[in-house]
Chains A and B, each alone.
Chain A
């Protein structure tokens, strides 16, 4: 061969290096806003005991349904006094709403993140297999179609009522209706990627199926799954609040945003703060997660952005 191999005539040189992934992400306003709000909520949940809160389940019968900002003088056994300010008022049992909202962030975030991670893990596994093995596909996808035919909230209510209510059963109840959506997404990506010549070349090279899936196909699903994960997370936080609001989610003594709102439902006209503060937190968190997801979608997977 007479031509200098490193640079063949008439061919394009490699494009100049692009800025790093983090650099690209930091340029998106949505990602910054969403990230900051979520980070704030996580810190809020983690640092709850040190943020001027008292026990979220402490009942104070003499101090019920008070407006935000009211102060109470508490006398200790030693005879000294201190004042405690109810920044968001108290509910109909005299519990501090501020403390309950701050502690409630824990449950919401735990549910959002666990549901997203677990449903994506399960959905990814099923989706990879369904997308690659035809006979599994036929069976699994009919099952998934069946699951998708039932509204998520109904399915969740049915599942919660099967078990004793509690954090775990709520998480399971939200994961189950989310799985089919992940499976469909993963399967569609697998179906298109398995036609790529580099996958066929790997088949010719005798790559065993599990390695083929893991090495050549799975990495293609990651960007879409990160994006889908944020939407599942937001959806799960909302669904938990709905279940708690309906009184079938987390037991009422545990503070969750949904529980606090359920609690305040009866006296909403007179004491709106009971619903207002947890409602604001819920709306802000869900908005932040969705905006983050939108930003990630645009940055990580431009093709997906055009499709959705």
Chain B
């Protein structure tokens, strides 16, 4: 990589004005950075930091009338893109700059063959013959390592996996050999093993084609994995930038330090194994099979969960780790009895609740409470926070006044203002809402807390605080916690034991320290190998 080469992209003092009435004046303010040929620059920040707006401004894709660049220059090989007309920008996009997006599912047209979608870029920017065009498409598909390009050129997006779709997106972005590739959280929606492959591909491609890459991410693991240089943004401003090594090891800015320190470590802390406490939750050969089809459609069976045996003791956190589709959430929903398992037993303090009907289940409802992933959908937007927290206890016969008093105590316990009970969910941030959900669960005085990806939708700095809170309430109320996550870093920090799930089965189980130190199953090893930034110890700063 030639860092002293003339930069492909040079952003100088870019300022983008937000529409009137927003919470701040500018979406991004006086942002400057450069991307050299063959260099990967990561723009990293939390939600609302302006990193995506920066990428869209470079691409000339700011929503007209709402966001406008008011100052600065965006130089692509010396030409200011902000001065280009829409027609000129259209010629530049796809040809000299191209972009890949977060959601490979929606970024591709579902009714168009993937080969045609790649060829479309060629159609617009070049005058190639049919045969030549097909050759170019096959060539670029080969270069992003899609298996059997000859066959894959004629399939539709729904026939591909998430990772393959993202490869198609990258192929379409690279088919004209752009000088700059903008990647806006391209791996956030992907599983960790797929993410590792895509990151490897991007690294390899920029090396081979000498493309400059502007990579937007919130994940410091990804930064450590691929970035040459890092730009840290907060509230629309660049707070720090420099070589990856320098920023990660010797951050100068307090905010950068805080962000990096919030990244959970992959090495689990020493924990006392819990062996004496009684078993509160146990599943025996738990199965869940989904049957689709009916009168006319062909009957199809999908085994979401196969013979799962888990045990959680009082005061213990069991992590269930797996990728999407591994069945980990189905296990959680069976245990909370939101769905009925097909087969097997769920013992809560010895009582089997797996097959109970609605009426018989009611007394057991209190004992298992669940915290969901999405804090924006877990609270009824039309009801106050107080109503949400008191609903459960009142259902079980508690007097309204007493329930409100309990809710006030719980609000203080989860670190919120007790007077906020009369407010509505939209007045709280994501992290605060997740605290409210924890308070709501605790109001039922449960014995088991099921946390289904409770921090996956949160920014990293908030994530650490919510994890701390969950650990805190576990200790305080001696709860058995079933912690569902796809994030190995999070699992390493909060779980006493972990169970790794793959295709509906538990493939490995053991104490967190043991599993992390010496994973036995091949899938567990693959999972650990894929963890981005695994060779990097975050938060150990050099002075």
Q: Which A residues are closer than 8 A to B by beta carbons? A: 1, 3, 5-6, 8-16, 196-198, 200-209, 211, 215-216, 219
Contact A8 B462 (CB under 8 A): yes
Closest beta carbon of chain B to A241's beta carbon, Å: 39
Given contacts A14-B426, A219-B382, contact A201 B461 (CB under 8 A): no
Contact A198 B459 (CB under 8 A): no
Taken together as a complex, chains A and B put the C-alpha atoms of A207 and B472 apart, in Å, by 28
Closest 7 pairs (CB-CB, A-B)? A205-B392, A11-B429, A5-B415, A197-B372, A206-B365, A197-B378, A206-B395
B380 on the A face (CB < 8 A): yes
B50 on the A face (CB < 8 A): no
Contact A1 B415 (CB under 8 A): yes
Contacts of A209 in B (CB 8 A): 358
Nearest chain-B residue to A201 (Cβ)? B378
Contacts of A201 in B (CB 8 A): 370, 372, 378-379, 388, 437, 440
Given contacts A8-B432, A208-B395, contact A200 B459 (CB under 8 A): no
Contacts of B338 in A (CB 8 A): 200, 203-204
Contacts of A1 in B (CB 8 A): 415, 465, 468-469, 472
Taken together as a complex, chains A and B put the C-alpha atoms of A69 and B429 apart, in Å, by 68
Contact B395 A196 (CB under 8 A): no
Q: Which of B385-399 contact A (CB under 8 A)?
A: 388, 391-392, 395-396
Closest beta carbon of chain B to A37's beta carbon, Å: 32
Contacts of B444 in A (CB 8 A): 204-206
Q: How many residue-residue contacts, CB under 8 A, span A and B?
A: 109
Contacts of B465 in A (CB 8 A): 1, 3, 8
Taken together as a complex, chains A and B put the C-alpha atoms of A9 and B465 apart, in Å, by 10
Closest beta carbon of chain B to A189's beta carbon, Å: 14
Partner of B370, one of A10, A13, A14, A200: A200
B304 on the A face (CB < 8 A): no
Contacts of B430 in A (CB 8 A): 11
B48 on the A face (CB < 8 A): yes
Closest beta carbon of chain A to B103's beta carbon, Å: 18
Taken together as a complex, chains A and B put the C-alpha atoms of A200 and B379 apart, in Å, by 10
Contact B396 A206 (CB under 8 A): yes
Contacts of B21 in A (CB 8 A): 16
Nearest chain-B residue to A203 (Cβ)? B338
Nearest chain-A residue to B395 (Cβ)? A206
Partner of B23, one of A9, A15, A200, A215: A15
What 0/1 pattern do residues 356 to 379 of B give for CB contact below 8 A with A? 001000100110111011100111
Q: Which B residues are closer than 8 A to A by beta carbons? A: 21, 23, 46-48, 234, 258, 336, 338, 358, 362, 365-366, 368-370, 372-374, 377-380, 382-383, 388, 391-392, 395-396, 415-417, 426-432, 435, 437, 440-441, 444, 459, 461-462, 465, 468-469, 472
Contact B429 A216 (CB under 8 A): no
Contact A197 B47 (CB under 8 A): no
Contacts of B373 in A (CB 8 A): 197
Contact B362 A12 (CB under 8 A): no
Contacts of A196 in B (CB 8 A): 377
Contacts of A5 in B (CB 8 A): 415-417, 432, 435
Partner of B369, one of A10, A204, A207: A204
Nearest chain-B residue to A13 (Cβ)? B23
Partner of B258, one of A9, A202, A205, A215: A9
Closest beta carbon of chain B to A146's beta carbon, Å: 16
Contacts of A216 in B (CB 8 A): 380, 383
Contact A12 B372 (CB under 8 A): no
Closest beta carbon of chain A to B239's beta carbon, Å: 12
Taken together as a complex, chains A and B put the C-alpha atoms of A255 and B388 apart, in Å, by 54
Nearest chain-A residue to B412 (Cβ)? A5
Contact B23 A12 (CB under 8 A): yes
Nearest chain-A residue to B393 (Cβ)? A205
Given contacts A8-B429, A10-B462, A11-B430, contact A202 B370 (CB under 8 A): no
Given contacts A9-B461, A11-B429, A204-B368, contact A197 B377 (CB under 8 A): yes
Contacts of B417 in A (CB 8 A): 5-6
What would be 17 A-B contacts, judged by CB atoms less than 8 Å apart?
Answer: A3-B465, A5-B435, A8-B465, A10-B46, A10-B234, A10-B462, A12-B47, A198-B378, A198-B380, A200-B336, A205-B365, A205-B391, A205-B392, A206-B362, A206-B392, A207-B395, A215-B380
Contacts of B378 in A (CB 8 A): 197-198, 201
Interface centre among A11, A205, A215, A219 (most CB of B within 10 A): A205
Taken together as a complex, chains A and B put the C-alpha atoms of A9 and B460 apart, in Å, by 10
Nearest chain-B residue to A18 (Cβ)? B21
Contact B395 A205 (CB under 8 A): yes
Interface centre among A13, A203, A204 (most CB of B within 10 A): A204
Contact A205 B440 (CB under 8 A): yes
Contacts of B46 in A (CB 8 A): 10
Nearest chain-A residue to B443 (Cβ)? A205
Contacts of B369 in A (CB 8 A): 204-205
Taken together as a complex, chains A and B put the C-alpha atoms of A196 and B23 apart, in Å, by 29
Taken together as a complex, chains A and B put the C-alpha atoms of A125 and B418 apart, in Å, by 38
Given contacts A204-B338, A205-B365, contact A11 B462 (CB under 8 A): yes
Contact A10 B372 (CB under 8 A): no
Taken together as a complex, chains A and B put the C-alpha atoms of A10 and B366 apart, in Å, by 34
Taken together as a complex, chains A and B put the C-alpha atoms of A204 and B391 apart, in Å, by 11
Closest beta carbon of chain A to B410's beta carbon, Å: 13
Contacts of B382 in A (CB 8 A): 219
Contacts of A3 in B (CB 8 A): 415, 465
Contact B377 A198 (CB under 8 A): yes
